[in-house]
């Protein structure tokens, strides 16, 4: 979810679910230790509970970054062992680390020794075209026993390290939820969170009969308002008292603050384009918010125009009916 789940996106999503745990986009250890750490780590306290996802393989660097994350106020440190991009592979992290479980275990142990918050691992069920349960079973066994990891977030596909783009790696390798279910059966004391291909509430509910949690990625981004049902249905909370108009109003105020701080408000608006998916006029509303000719206007004025355009479409449809 690089370039997707930045702090503006997470602020928006937290309006829609108060209890679901949010994750940052993957941040490399090098970016934190040798770059602009505040730019990568700053977040609004409203985003919590929030996990910092790290990319890296050096135990000392991971430990140093985990300490930074804990000091910044994150609730969890997550090590990415699932990203298949060739750029990530060149940095010796991501999905290629699944071939080196001892190295992953050393990194996890170093982080666990450095912080008091949970350290988790996100990974695939295999790499390349090898469909062999023993591979992922041994990976989990080594990382849990040697590294002390207790929570594994499992994207239920292989990662093909060559020949597929990151987008194709989310679609071409077949999903195999049964592999994740089998891991839970074989490691009952560990927690497993299933990721990959889950989009609807009924699908989440079905998987919670087999695993301890479900992670939703792009489906939540593309249809964010679906998250408003999660707290009451799955997390023991109340339904957030917010509708689409109220969510847009809150985001307009947030964009005004971002613009006042010198950042283009369009860095925020792109994340909420799915807010009205599935309702009449949504396409026209998105077109207005995406119109580069309007970027010199205030977000409040763009919101007014977008709603007017949506209402015009709805009225036109009603007249046609």
pLDDT in tens, 265-298: 999 999 999 999 999 999 999 999 999 999 999 9
In the predicted model, is pLDDT for residue 25 greater than 70?
yes
pLDDT at 151: 98
pLDDT at 176: 96
Which two tokens mark 30?
């090098």
In the predicted model, is pLDDT for residue 51 greater than 90?
yes
Which pLDDT band holds residue 306 (cuts at 50, 70, 90)? very high
**Closest Cα to residue 46, out of 298, 201, 265, 250?**
250
Instruction: List where CATH 1.20.120 sits in the chain.
Output: 244-320
CATH fold group of domain 7-234:
TIM Barrel (3.20.20)
Instruction: List where CATH 3.20.20.70 sits in the chain.
Output: 7-234
In the predicted model, is pLDDT for residue 313 greater than 80?
no
- Assess contact for 134 and 174: CB atoms under 8 A: no
Between 170 and 153, residue with greater pLDDT = 153
In the predicted model, is pLDDT for residue 234 greater than 80?
yes
65 is catalytic: no
Q: Which of 9, 65, 81, 83 is catalytic?
A: 83
Between 200 and 88, residue with greater pLDDT = 200
pLDDT at 321: 47
pTM for the whole structure: 0.91
Which pLDDT band holds residue 316 (cuts at 50, 70, 90)? low
Q: Does domain 244-320 have CATH number 1.20.120?
A: yes
- Assess contact for 197 and 156: CB atoms under 8 A: yes
Mean pLDDT of 205-210: 97
Q: Mean pLDDT, the chain, as a whole number?
A: 92
Rama region for 35: left / alpha / beta (φ>0; ψ in -120 to 50; rest): beta
């Amino acid at each position: 979810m690089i370039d997707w789940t930045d702090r503006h996106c997470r602020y928006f999503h937290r309006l829609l679910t108060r209890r679901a745990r949010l994750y940052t986009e993957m941040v490399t250890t090098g970016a934190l230790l040798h770059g602009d750490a505040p730019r990568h780590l700053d977040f609004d306290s409203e985003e919590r509970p929030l996990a910092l996802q790290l990319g890296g393989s050096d135990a000392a660097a991971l430990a140093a970054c985990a300490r930074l994350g804990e000091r910044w106020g994150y609730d969890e440190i997550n090590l990415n062992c699932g990203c298949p991009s060739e750029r990530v592979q060149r940095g010796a992290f991501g999905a290629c680390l699944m071939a080196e479980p001892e190295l992953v275990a050393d990194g996890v142990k170093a982080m666990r020794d450095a912080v008091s918050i949970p350290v988790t691992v996100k990974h695939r069920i295999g790499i390349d075209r090898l469909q062999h349960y023993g591979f992922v079973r041994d990976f989990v066994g080594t990382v849990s026993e040697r590294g002390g990891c207790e929570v594994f977030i499992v994207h239920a596909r292989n990662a093909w390290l060559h020949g597929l783009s990151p987008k194709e790696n989310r679609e071409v390798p077949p999903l195999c939820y049964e592999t994740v279910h089998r891991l839970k059966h074989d490691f009952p004391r560990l927690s497993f969170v299933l990721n990959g291909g889950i989009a609807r509430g009924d699908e989440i509910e079905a998987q919670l009969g087999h695993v301890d949690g479900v992670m939703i990625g792009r489906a939540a981004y593309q249809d964010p308002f679906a998250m408003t049902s999660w707290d009451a249905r799955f997390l023991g909370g109340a339904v957030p008292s917010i509708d689409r108009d109220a969510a847009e109003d809150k985001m307009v105020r947030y964009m005004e603050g971002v613009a006042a701080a010198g950042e283009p408000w369009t860095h925020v608006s792109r994340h909420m384009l799915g807010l009205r998916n599935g309702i009449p006029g949504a396409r026209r509303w998105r077109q207005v918010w995406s119109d580069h000719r309007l970027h010199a206007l205030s977000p409040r004025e763009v919101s007014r125009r977008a709603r007017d355009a949506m209402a015009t479409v709805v009225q036109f449809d009603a007249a046609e009916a």
